[in-house]
Structure 1
Amino acid sequence: MDGAISVIVPTLNAGRQIDTLLTRLEQQTRKPDEIIVVDSSSEDITQEMIKRHPEVKLIVIDRKNFNHGGTRDAMLRESTGDFVLFLTQDAMPSGNDYIAKIVAPFADDEVALVYGRQLPRKDARPAEALVRKYSYGDESMVITKADIPSLGIKAFHSTDVCAAYRRTAYLEVGGFETDVLTNEDMFIAARFLHAGWKIVYEANATVIHSHNFTFKQQYKRNYIQGVEIAKHKDILGDASLSGEGFSLVKYTLGGLLRQGHVIEAMRFTVDCGFRLIGNRNGQRAAAKSHGRKE
């Protein structure tokens, strides 16, 4: 696949991870033409570790200026690649062919966005491992505008944990919003589809990435998502989260019980309650701030 490749990694106190991640990127069979790390004024050894990689471009910003959409947009425009890959600091390519695999679908000129598969870390809770397996299956998929009615909200599923963008398509639809709190990847995916571009889920491009969130963290995360999803009804249309959420819960609970993780199943049920309440409260807050009823 022809074209220059840029990789962008936002960091904050990533001292335990960033050296290994950058080394893994430099060892790829398809080496990136450019690696940019944008660091939110880390207080640990992150910047020291980055400077061990002289070919990596380090950009330091004030922490209060970081924004999921705005910072990534600024860095993409700073980069030079025809294809721009985003990774989070805790997403580790599982092999040296990750870049080659995630850019392969761009051989189709109609593909604007490719996102990869997330495999759980060894320390992932049983429920988290099943959630990753449900959300990131082993079959690749090409999504078009015609798939929105059947897939619903899942049509817009994307993740900047491990995603690649065609620069021309990104600029054509206006890029990420500069003031979005989260889900910038979902909203631009929706714009791509509505504009006639294709999105690809490439199951062969894998990274190791998972989280063991506390109930409080899960609530906060879903509250923010609820706010942003409510604010973006014009882009998402009538696609509902509830049906997809129910399917995930059913799959995960069933898997936990089959594996004999009864206590973990009970914990996951409580976890889902925090997710649901957080999301609904976020949507209510967004509706209230716009002076309308839900």
Structure 2
Amino acid sequence: MTKPRVSVIMRCKNSDWVIAQALAGLFSQTFRDFELIVVDSGSTDKTLEIVKHYPCNLIEIEAKAYYPGKVLNMAIEHAQGDIIVFQNSDSVPLCEYSLERLVAAFDDAQIKGAFGRQIPRPEAVTWVRRDYEISFPVCGEAPPWITLSLPLAAIRKSIWKEHKFYVDAWASEDTEWGNWARNNNHAIKYVADAIVMHSHNYNLKEIYGRRFVEGEADVFIYNNRDNVFKVCKRFLVSTLRDTLYHIRQVEFIEMLKIPARRFVYQWAYYKGNKLGTKRKLRGNDDTSVGQQIVLKHYGSEREIS
């Protein structure tokens, strides 16, 4: 049997609302020289029934065993391909050549990683649309804070062997790997015409959970130390920026929600950053607090992506 050039890793949990679209999009790609590895972390809906209609290597783990960095490293160990592609179970390819364009980036030997463009879902609210417009431009380069983004991304397995996904904190495993690559002169390419649909309309609880673990992770990635002054400054700047955008979009009802959302967004990051700082100073390698914060605020019934 010929070894596939590419291994696609898809993580899922209770994704039956979208995974059929994600898989149909993947298996409709012009590039077909891939194997699929699906890691399910305790689905209780019809996700596994859908997955089993497609050829794949299915790995099932318990929900409590789901730590992103550890799960990705385990899945890559099983992968046969030289290029490892990551596609979230809620990321739907919007064109048949997305995978082909992403993989083609590696024809350049200097490229060690690549990530595609994410377009928000039709139901995405105004602030989500704005964030995606900035983070994933139609052309040119992605902003510097997007070092890698796993809803659609790829890396060389040989480079992963030099630096595996980190497990110091629960979140931002893609950001940490991309930052390491950049700091070690490994080129990562933004492929704007490798397109998937992916976004979330997070409520305030979900925003808190996501930003908490991101604040914790940034201590380990950037040695970033937050304080109340920075929180206040970011709150004011982001609130003004969002307000102006909503005015231009004539979204006055949504505009009323901006202060509460931006306060939670910044405060959760600050609280997570404080936990990360304390853990790092004490040499505490227990990442379970971040996991529990996410599950408490995001909900344990579905995939956290």
Q: What is the TM-score of this pair, normalised by structure 2? A: 0.83
State the alpha-carbon separation in 2 of the partners of residues 156 and 260 from structure 1.
28
Amino acid at match of 2:47: T
**SS of match in other structure, 1:44:** coil
Amino acid at match of 2:219: A
State the alpha-carbon separation in 2 of the partners of residues 248 and 102 from structure 1.
32
- Say yes or no: does 1:192 pair with 2:165: no
State the alpha-carbon separation in 1 of the partners of residues 11 and 88 from structure 2.
6
- Say yes or no: does 1:45 pair with 2:46: yes
In structure 1, the partner of 2:137 is 137
**1:141 to partner: Cα distance:** 2.7
**1:38 to partner: Cα distance:** 0.6
Are the equivalent residues in 2 in contact too, given 1:88–1:160 (CA < 8 A)? yes
In structure 2, the partner of 1:203 is 192
Paired residue total: 275
In structure 2, the partner of 1:85 is 85
Partner deviation per Cα, 1:162-221 (whole Å, 9 max, x = no partner): 11111112212x210235311001111111112211011111111101111111110111
In structure 1, the partner of 2:266 is 276
Are the equivalent residues in 1 in contact too, given 2:168–2:220 (CA < 8 A)? no
Amino acid at match of 1:212: N
State the alpha-carbon separation in 2 of the partners of residues 20 and 221 from structure 1.
25
Are the equivalent residues in 1 in contact too, given 2:235–2:263 (CA < 8 A)? no
Aligned CA distance change for structure 1 residues 175 and 290 (closer, same or farther; 3 Å): closer
In structure 1, the partner of 2:72 is 72
In structure 1, the partner of 2:36 is 35
In structure 1, the partner of 2:154 is 164
In structure 1, the partner of 2:298 is none
Amino acid at match of 1:207: V
In structure 2, the partner of 1:263 is 253
Q: What's the RMSD between the two structures over aligned residues?
A: 2.5
In structure 1, the partner of 2:18 is 17
Are the equivalent residues in 2 in contact too, given 1:117–1:204 (CA < 8 A)? yes
In structure 2, the partner of 1:100 is 100
- Say yes or no: does 1:222 pair with 2:223: no
Amino acid at match of 1:218: I
Structure 2, unaligned runs of 5 or more? 283-305
State the alpha-carbon separation in 1 of the partners of residues 243 and 189 from structure 2.
28
Amino acid at match of 2:77: R
Amino acid at match of 1:82: D
State the alpha-carbon separation in 2 of the partners of residues 118 and 8 from structure 1.
17
Amino acid at match of 1:163: A
**SS of match in other structure, 1:226:** helix
State the alpha-carbon separation in 2 of the partners of residues 82 and 90 from structure 1.
24
**1:266 to partner: Cα distance:** 2.6
State the alpha-carbon separation in 1 of the partners of residues 131 and 267 from structure 2.
19
Aligned CA distance change for structure 1 residues 257 and 32 (closer, same or farther; 3 Å): farther
In structure 2, the partner of 1:178 is 167
**1:110 to partner: Cα distance:** 1.2
**SS of match in other structure, 1:141:** coil
- Say yes or no: does 1:289 pair with 2:290: no
Are the equivalent residues in 1 in contact too, given 2:225–2:273 (CA < 8 A)? no
Are the equivalent residues in 1 in contact too, given 2:69–2:170 (CA < 8 A)? yes
**1:248 to partner: Cα distance:** 6.5
State the alpha-carbon separation in 1 of the partners of residues 75 and 26 from structure 2.
18
Structure 1, unaligned runs of 5 or more? 143-150
Deviates more, 1:84-93 or 1:19-28: 19-28
Are the equivalent residues in 2 in contact too, given 1:105–1:200 (CA < 8 A)? yes
